[in-house]
Amino acid sequence: MSAACKTILECIGEDPHREGLLKTPLRWAKALLYMCQGYDKRPEDVTNGAVFHENHSEMVVVRNIDIHSLCEHHMVPFTGRVHIGYIPNGKILGLSKLARIAELYARRLQVQERLTRQIADAIVETVEPLGVAVVVECTHFCMVMRGVQKTGALTTTSSVRGCFESNSKTRAEFFSIIQGNGVTMC
């Protein structure tokens, strides 16, 4: 990977032997491996057995999970937040594991639409809930730094399964919660 980076530097008109760039190929290779570490993991690797039998049948929502990924079309970052809700069916998942599942799929070359589906599907496979809803909101640097250069553009995708798909009231409750309108704190 380092040799490939040196070639890329030369192709864009840089001198890979310049002092400031001497260690860049190795740093770039390490960074890319870190940003794409999701290929080496499966949901069961990151949930680490944190599935618990619990008689809870109300909605569980974790909002504002920060994610960072690389667009597979340009290998440029997109960054944003994931909101996950599910209704347990006898099993719950440790809350941090929802964030870990989101991170697992974000750490691959991605399109936001697939990322959203993969998170929902992994939760379905892991705890077999009555339903799952996932919303991903991101800024894509391929739209900010090149092309149309629209810095304020935000892309929102959603994926719903089970009762979130079949019951509009349940789906509406989830969307109300992630918008900050659904729960009043005492």
Q: Which residues does the annotation mark as catalytic? A: 71-74, 112, 140, 142
Could you tell me whether strands 155-162 and 77-87 are parallel, antiparallel, or unpaired per DSSP bridges? Answer: unpaired
65 CB neighbour count, 10 Å cutoff: 21
The secondary element (H helix, E strand) that includes residue 178 is helix 168-178
* Residue 124: count of CB within 10 angstroms of its CB: 15
Residue type, 115: L
User: Across-strand partners of 177?
Assistant: none
CB 59 within 8 A of CB 87: yes
